[in-house]
Amino acid sequence: MAKTGTTGDKIFRTVLLIAVSIIPLIVAAIIYMMVQNSLPTLQRFGVGFLTGREWIPAQETFGALPFIYGTIVSSVIALIISVPLSLGIAIFLVEQAPKNLAKPISFMVELLAAIPSVVYGLWGIFVLAPFVRDYLGAFLQKYLGFLPLFQGRLTGIGMLTGGIILALMIIPILTAVVRDVLEVVPVTQREAALALGATKWETTKVVLGNAASGIAGAVVLGLGRAIGETMAVTMVIGNSPQISASVFEPAYTIASVLAANFADATEKIYLSALIEMGLVLFFVTFAVNALAKLLIIGVSRRNGVAKA
Amino acid sequence: MAETNSQNHGRRKLVSSVMTTLTAACAVFVVAVLLLIISYIAIRGFSSISVQFLIDTPKPVGEGGGIGNAILGSVMMTALAAVIGLPIGVLAGIYLAEFGNNWYGNVVRFLADTLVGVPSIIIGIFIYTLIVVPMGRQSGLAGGLALALIMIPIVARTTEEMIRLVPDAMREGALALGAPQWRVTWNIVLPAASTGIATGAMLAIARITGETAPLLFTALNSRFYNFYLDQPMSSLTVQIFNYATGPFEVEHAMAWAATLILVGIILVINVLVRFLTRKRF
Amino acid sequence: MTGSNFFTRKITGIFLFMCLSLSLACSGQPMGESNGSQGGNSKLTGAGSTFVKPMMDKWTNEFGKLYPSVKIDYSGGGSGAGIKAIQNQTSDFGASDAAMSDDELKQAKGGEIVHIPVVLGAVVLTYNLKEVTEPLKLTPEIIADIYLGKIKKWNDEKIKKENPNAALLASDITPVFRADGSGTSDVFTDFLSKTVPEWKEKVGRTKNPQLPQGVGIGGKGNEGVMGQVKNTPNTIGYVELTFAKANNLPTALVKNAAENFVEATSETVSSAAAGMTAKMPEDLRYEITNAEGADAYPISGMVYILAYKDQKDTVKGKNLADFLWWAIHDGEKYVKELHYAPLPAELVKKTEAKINSLSNGGKSLRP
Q: What is the pLDDT of residue B9?
A: 81
* CA distances to C239, C285, C347 from C357, in Å: 34, 16, 16
pLDDT of residue C3 exceeding 60, the answer is no
pLDDT of residue A2: 44
CA A164 to chain CA centroid, nearest Å:
12
**In percent, how much of chain B has pLDDT > 70?**
96
pLDDT higher for C112 or A188? Answer: C112
d(CA C64, CA B33): 45
Residues of B numbered 170-189 whose beta carbons fall under 8 angstroms of chain C's beta carbons: which are they?
Answer: 186-188
Residue A115 has pLDDT above 60, yes or no: yes
Q: Is some CB atom of chain B closer than 8 A to the CB atom of C17? A: no
Q: Give the pLDDT of residue A92.
A: 92
> What is the nearest CA distance from C193 to chain B, expressed in angstroms?
27
Determine contact, residues B49/A234, Cβ cutoff 8 Å: no
Residue B44 has pLDDT above 80, yes or no: yes
Residues on chain A touching C179 (C-beta within 8 angstroms): 234, 239, 252, 260
Q: How confident is the model at residue B7 (pLDDT cuts 50, 70, 90)?
A: confident
Tell me which of B11, B33, B161 to substitute to probe the interface with A (most A C-beta atoms closer than 10 Å).
B161
Whether residue B130 contacts residue B67, with contact meaning beta carbons closer than 8 Å, is answered with no
Q: Any CB–CB contact under 8 A between C339 and chain B?
A: yes
Sequence letter at residue C147: Y
Does residue B87 sit at the C interface (CB-CB below 8 Å)? Answer: yes
Mean pLDDT for the stretch of residues B247-276: 84
Instruction: Compute and round to an integer the Cα radius of gyration of chain B.
Output: 24
pLDDT of C8: 62
Query: Distance, in angstroms, between B227 CA and closest chain C CA?
Result: 6
A223 vs A225: CA distance, rounded Å: 5
**Angstrom distances, CA of residue B205 to CA of A179, A193, A230:** 18, 38, 18
- CB pairs < 8 Å spanning A and B: 297
Dmax (CA) of chain B: 82
Distances (CA, A) of C226 to A120, A245, B1: 16, 27, 69
Q: Structural domains in chain C? A: 38-119+302-364 (3.40.190.10), 122-279 (3.40.190.10)
- In this predicted structure, which of A110-114, A260-264, B190-194 has the lowest mean pLDDT? A110-114
Contact B206, A170 (CB under 8 A): no
Phi, psi of C341 (to 5 degrees): -115, 135
pLDDT confidence bin for B112, thresholds 50/70/90: very high
Task: Please compute the mean of the pLDDT values over residues C280-302 and round it to a whole number.
Answer: 94
Q: Is A194 exposed, middle or buried (0-12, 13-18, 19+ CB in 10 A)?
A: middle
Q: What's the average model confidence in pLDDT over A181-209?
A: 86
Q: CB count, 10 Å around CB of A214?
A: 21
Note whether C181 contacts A260, CB cutoff 8 Å.
yes
Per-residue confidence (pLDDT) for residue C34, from 0 to 100: 37
Test B240 with A118 for CB contact under 8 angstroms.
yes
- Per CB-CB distance under 8 Å, the chain C contacts of B188 are 4
Q: B142 — contact with chain C (CB < 8 Å)?
A: no
Q: For position C270, what pLDDT does the model report?
A: 95
Instruction: Please return the burial class of A177, using the count of CB atoms within 10 Å of its CB with bins 0-12, 13-18 and 19+.
Output: buried
What is the average pLDDT across A187-210?
Answer: 87
Calpha distance B253→B40 (Å, rounded)? 11
Per-residue pLDDT band for B280 (boundaries 50, 70, 90) equals very low
Question: Quick one: C15 exposed, middle or buried, by C-beta within 10 A (0-12, 13-18, 19+)?
Answer: middle
pLDDT at residue C9, as a whole number: 66
Instruction: Indicate whether C290 pLDDT > 50.
Output: yes
Share of chain C above pLDDT 90, in %: 63
Q: Does the pLDDT at position B137 exceed 50?
A: yes
The number of CA neighbours under 13 Å toward the Cβ of A284 is: 28
Question: What pLDDT, on the 0 to 100 scale, is given for residue A200?
Answer: 86
Its pTM stands at 0.86
Among residues C119, C111, C118, the alpha carbon closest in space to that of C359 is found at C111
Q: Which ranges in chain A belong to alpha helices (H)?
A: 2-37, 39-45, 48-51, 65-91, 99-111, 117-123, 129-131, 137-144, 159-184, 187-195, 200-210, 212-228, 231-236, 254-261, 268-302
Cα torsion angle, B119, B120, B126, B132, sign: negative
pLDDT, position B207: 81
**For chain A, which domains are there?**
2-307 (1.10.3720.10)
As beta bridge partners, residue A251 has A238
pLDDT digits (tens, 9 = 90+) for C60-73: 999 999 999 999 99
pLDDT in tens, C4-49: 555 566 666 767 777 777 776 665 444 434 333 334 457 899 998 8
pLDDT at residue A15 greater than cutoff 50: yes
Which of C8, C15, C90 shows the shortest C-beta gap to B87?
C15
Contacts of A227 in chain B (CB under 8 A): 117, 119
Q: What is the mean pLDDT of residues B132-147?
A: 92
CA distance C119 to C344: 10
When pLDDT is averaged across residues B76-83 and rounded to a whole number, the result is: 94
Do B228 and C19 make contact, defined as CB atoms within 8 angstroms? Answer: no
Check pLDDT > 70 for residue C2.
no
pLDDT at site C95: 95
Residue in B86, B91, B101, B106 with CA at minimum distance from that of residue A20:
B91
* Structure confidence at residue A290 (pLDDT): 78
Weakest-pLDDT range from A136-140, B201-205, C249-253: B201-205
What's the confidence (pLDDT) of residue C30? 45
Most confident range, picked from A9-13, A113-117, C51-55, C195-199: C195-199
* pLDDT at res. C26: 62
**Residue type for position C8:** T
| Most confident stretch, B36-45, B257-266, C252-261 | C252-261
Render pLDDT for A213-253 as a digit per residue (tens, 0 to 9).
Answer: 778 878 887 888 888 888 889 889 988 888 988 999 999 99
Min Cα distance C91 → chain B (Å) is 7
pLDDT digits (tens, 9 = 90+) for C102-157: 988 998 988 999 999 999 999 999 999 988 989 999 999 999 999 999 999 999 99
What 3-state class would DSSP assign to C312? coil
**pLDDT on residue A296:** 65
Dump pLDDT digits (tens) for B14-41: 988 898 899 999 889 988 988 888 889 8
Residue B281 has pLDDT above 60, yes or no: no
Q: Which of C60, C61, C109 to mutate to test the interface with B (most CBs of B within 10 A)?
A: C61
- Other beta carbons within 10 Å of B45: 21
- Which B residues in the span 218-237 are in contact with C, Cβ-Cβ below 8 Å? 220-224, 226-232
Query: B3-26 burial, b if ≥16 CB within 10 A, otherwise e?
Result: eeeeeeeeebeeebeebbeebbeb
pLDDT digits (tens, 9 = 90+) for C298-317: 999 999 999 999 999 999 99
Of B30, B158, B266, which has the smallest distance from its Cβ to A89's Cβ?
A: B30
- Specify the DSSP class assigned to residue C45: E
- With 70 as the cut, is the pLDDT of residue B270 above it? yes
Mean pLDDT score, C253-266: 95
Q: What are all long-range contacts of C342-348, with beta carbons under 8 Å and residues at least 24 apart?
A: C342/C119, C342/C120, C342/C266, C342/C270, C343/C117, C343/C118, C343/C119, C343/C120, C343/C270, C343/C273, C344/C270, C344/C271, C344/C273, C344/C274, C344/C277, C345/C274, C346/C274, C346/C277, C346/C278, C347/C117, C347/C273, C347/C274, C347/C277, C347/C280
Contact between chains at C206 and A155 (C-beta distance less than 8 A) = no
- Residue C213: enclosing H or E segment and its boundaries? none
In the complex, which subunits touch A with 3 or more CB pairs below 8 angstroms? B, C
Tell me what the mean pLDDT of segment C69-97 comes to: 90
Q: pLDDT tens-digit profile of B170-227? A: 889 988 998 888 889 888 899 888 888 887 888 788 888 888 888 988 998 899 998 8
| pLDDT reported for residue C41 | 59
Q: Taking residues B142-148, what's their average pLDDT?
A: 96
A288: left (phi over 0), alpha (psi -120 to 50) or beta: alpha
**What is the tens place of the pLDDT at every residue in C307-365?**
999 999 999 999 999 999 999 999 999 999 999 999 999 999 999 999 999 998 888 88
pLDDT (average), residues C176-189: 90
Other Cβ atoms less than 10 A from the Cβ of C70: the count is 23
Going by C-alpha positions, the residue among C233, C143, C159 that lies closest to residue C195 is: C143
* Cα of C334 to nearest chain A Cα, Å: 27
Chain C residues at the A interface, defined by Cβ less than 8 Å, are 77-81, 83-84, 100-101, 103-104, 172, 174, 179-183, 203-211, 213-214, 216-220, 223-224, 227-228, 231-232, 235
Of A133, A244, A265, nearest to C181 by CB-CB distance is A265
Beta bridge partners of C264: none
